[in-house]
Structure 1
Amino acid sequence: MIRSAAEFGALVREHRKKLGWTQTQLAERCGTGERFIVDLENGKPGCHLEKSLIAARTVGIDLGDLKSASPPVAPEADDDLGFLPRFS
């Protein structure tokens, strides 16, 4: 399970390197700028979701079929989301 932008970026980087691509080559294949790929791989939390999903698919990361995903369940006190920041 990916729990942060940093983990997602590291996964994209890992897959890109396995393909033998540079960040510039991935950016060209995704139709983005190299700066975006650098930010994505460094875990910048403000990266655009759509571009991030395109980059993930481009390097072969299977994100699953969101249409078949279960409906959200209300979190409980002892859920597995303790890593997320809490805002009051």
Structure 2
Amino acid sequence: MRVRTMADLGALVRESREHSGLTQAELARRAGVSREWLLKVEAGRTPAEMPRVLDLLDELGMVLDVHTQEG
């Protein structure tokens, strides 16, 4: 999945969380964020702070890989 917007990132986090069998509360606790914050991230409604986003991805066993677009 290509992530271009916070909505894309939120959908990816939600899909991975659900695939991992985690509730929002459990993932939030593990990542050290509030459930309300995670809810906003999953909904794509807020420009999340990258360190917290990276904590979420880490808890889900995911790596953010950034490539430059040529041309």
Bucket of the pairwise TM-score, normalised by the shorter protein: 0.7 to 0.9
Task: Look up the match of 1:43.
Answer: 44
**CA RMSD in angstroms, aligned pairs only:** 2.0
1:7 deviates by: 0.4
The alignment covers a number of residue pairs equal to 70
| Higher mean C-alpha deviation, range 20-29 or range 52-61 | 52-61
> What's the TM-score, normalizing by structure 2?
0.83
User: After superposition, what is the alpha-carbon deviation per residue over 1:23-50, rounded to whole angstroms, capped at 9, x for unaligned?
Assistant: 0000000011101110110012322111
Q: Percent identity?
A: 30
Provide structure 1 residue ranges, at least 5 long, that are not aligned to the other structure. Answer: 74-78, 80-88
Higher-Rg member (1/2)? 1
1:1-88 pair list within 5 angstroms: 1-64=2-65
Q: Secondary structure at the match of 1:60?
A: coil
| Higher mean C-alpha deviation, range 21-30 or range 43-52 | 43-52
> What's the TM-score, normalizing by structure 1?
0.69
Kindly indicate which of the two structures has a greater share of residues assigned to helix.
2
Provide structure 2 residue ranges, at least 5 long, that are not aligned to the other structure. Answer: none
Structure 1 residue runs of 4 or more that deviate by more than 4 Å after TM superposition: none
